[in-house]
Every structure is written in C-alpha cells, then in structure tokens.
A and B are shown apart, each in its own frame.
Chain A
Amino acid sequence: MSRKPVDIGDPDRLYTVTGGRSEADDAFDLVTLIVSECEPTAGMQSEHTRILELCRHPTALVEVSAELKLPITVVRILLGDLHAMGKVSARHPRAAESVATLPETALLQEVLHGLRNL
C-alpha cells in the first residue's frame, strides 16, 4: 500500500481535519462503498460525525468527498481513522462474493441489463 504526500493548499485546515497527518492510504477506491457501523457520539470530530450520518446507507468515497467538500485525499485519511476504530466498514469494488466469483462477461452482462432497464 503506497502512501502519498498530500497538499490541500490550506495547511491549517488540513492540520485541523486530519490531526496533522498528510499521508493518505490508498486502500479506499473512489467507489469503495462506506457503511457506518455505529451512530456518532457527542464530542466526536465534526467530520467524523458527518461521515457517520452520511454513511447510514452505503455511500461511495467520492460522494463523501463531494458532500463534505473535502478533497479525496483528506477523506481517505478520515475514513482510514474511522475504519481503524471499527466505526465504518468498507465494501471494496468487486470484493463482494457475488461479484468476485463472476467472470468478466457475466459481470458486464449484468451491467448491460441494468443499463437497458434505465
């Protein structure tokens, strides 16, 4: 897992939001679906509270980023923390058993079917 430096332009804000860290974990893809495993508690960091509220239903990392108006890398850091504390779970792309075992053609057939039904 490579860790990459980040610079969001406003160091103060980054420091506040991420507790001073500037390295993000790539474990979360843009479309990894995040699900809260608990309710926010009083005194929790406000970004954590918002994430736990947002992810009561599965929510992609990129949607969390758009809703919180924070760059992807910052959201990765926040999610990494929540995940490490067991407060959220992550559904990674194609990791689910029902998809992981599918041949590519079968997966694409499901995609086509979904699109035709739009």
Chain B
Amino acid sequence: MGSATSELPAQRTPLADAAETGLKIVVVGGFGAGKTTLVRSVSEIRPLNTEEVMTQAGQGVDETAGVERKTTTTVAFDFGRISLNQRMVLYLFGAPGQERFWFLWDRLFSGTLGAIVLVDTRRMEDSWYAIDRLEHLKTPFVVAINRFDSDEPQFSLDEIRQALALKDHVPMVDCDARVRSSGKEVLITLVDHLYALALSQEGTS
C-alpha cells in the first residue's frame, strides 16, 4: 500500500485489551467552525482522518434526462478517541454540516449518543441546516459557541438562541475549542442533557 502522507504516527496508542464497547458522539459545524480543534483538544490520540465513498442510486430523477441518476459522494471526516474506563471507549467524529453531506449521515453516524453543534457566530447561518436536520432525526444535541478572538460584537447566548431559532430545552454553552477543559465541559453538557432525557423516558415507560 502506498501511503498518501508521511504523517503516520510513529507509535499508536492501543486501547486496553478489556475494551469492549465503542460509543459515538458527532461534532458538526460549518467550515472552519473549529470541529477538528475541539476533537483534538479532548482526544487521547492525534485526530485521524478517513473517508467514506457512497453511491446513491435512484435518488430522485434527473430533471433534464428524466432517468434515474447515480451519484457518488466522498465524505471525509476526522475523529478522536477518549478511553472512558477499561471497558468503554468514546469516539468523537468531526463532520461537515453542509446540506450536501446529509444523506450520508444516517448511515455513517447511526447509533450516536448525541451531537454537538459547533457555531461560529460570524457565520451562524452555517448551522441552520445541521440543527434542522438533527431535530428531524430526533438526535439529541447541544449547541456550543466557539468564541473566536475576533468575535465582535459578542452576541449573548439568548441572542444566539433566537438567531438559531433554538428551542428552550436545547442546552447552549460557550467554549474555546482550543482548550481541553473547555472541550470537556461541552462534552459533559451534552451527556448531562442525554442523561436528563433518558431519565424522563425511564420515568414514562
């Protein structure tokens, strides 16, 4: 196999031999919102990159030819890893939030615990589609505002909630994706939210 880059880590950090369960959380956001930075800051390994190539057949009809079209899309994503304990390992996936990638998502990321929508307030409209889609898929999520230095004027969380038309129950949190403790807080905010949802479900069933 010719390797595409010479960046392969000299030594891998293997998982514990007792590791038996992989869990998933997705970080979604617009271009340059800080997804890779966030994954890197909390991951125990340097973020790795891979891709999936998908052929979508018979999705709609070609308007000009009136025949079924087959389209091939490559979606690249990076990911990091957090060993939660000897048995459980959490994978964090950073993925683009653009509309044209969404049909891949159900398949790539099915079974995720939940999602983090990373927002750059200079380009809030970049997150509209992702939020819409997560609501539609009923994937629980939190919104993390990545505060860049040049982020002026500083919108308050309430203003951002309005701009994103976010429901009241969706947690929002400020963060600096470069800082490990901040990234960790974002993850905890999400899992706290998931816990509350699970608790109310267990109460009703």
Interface 0/1 of A62-84, CB less than 8 Å to B: 11011111111100000000000
Interface band, chain B: 35 or more
Q: Is the CB of A66 within 8 A of B84?
A: no
- Verify if B162 is at the interface (C-beta below 8 Å from A): no
B21-69 interface with A by 8 A CB criterion: 21-24, 42, 48-55, 57
Residues of B within 8 A of A62 (CB): 48, 50, 79, 91
The verdict on B15 contacting chain A, using a C-beta distance below 8 Å, is yes
Known: A98-B87, A115-B84. A66 touches B48 (CB 8 A): yes
Give the CA-CA distance A31 to B24 in the complex, in Å. 7
Q: Which of B51, B57, B90 contacts A111 (CB 8 A)?
A: B90
Partner of B88, one of A32, A111, A116: A111
- Contact assessment for A33 and B195 in the assembled complex, using a CB-CB cutoff below 8 Å: no
Q: Give residues of chain B (172-205) contacting chain A, Cβ–Cβ below 8 Å.
A: 180, 184, 187-188, 191-192, 194-195, 198-199, 201-202
Pairs A–B under 8 Å by Cβ, sample size 14: A9-B74, A33-B20, A57-B15, A62-B79, A72-B108, A98-B20, A98-B21, A99-B20, A108-B113, A108-B194, A113-B84, A115-B90, A118-B82, A118-B184
Residues of A within 8 A of B (CB): 4-9, 29-33, 46-47, 50, 54, 56-60, 62-63, 65-73, 91, 93-96, 98-99, 103-105, 108-116, 118
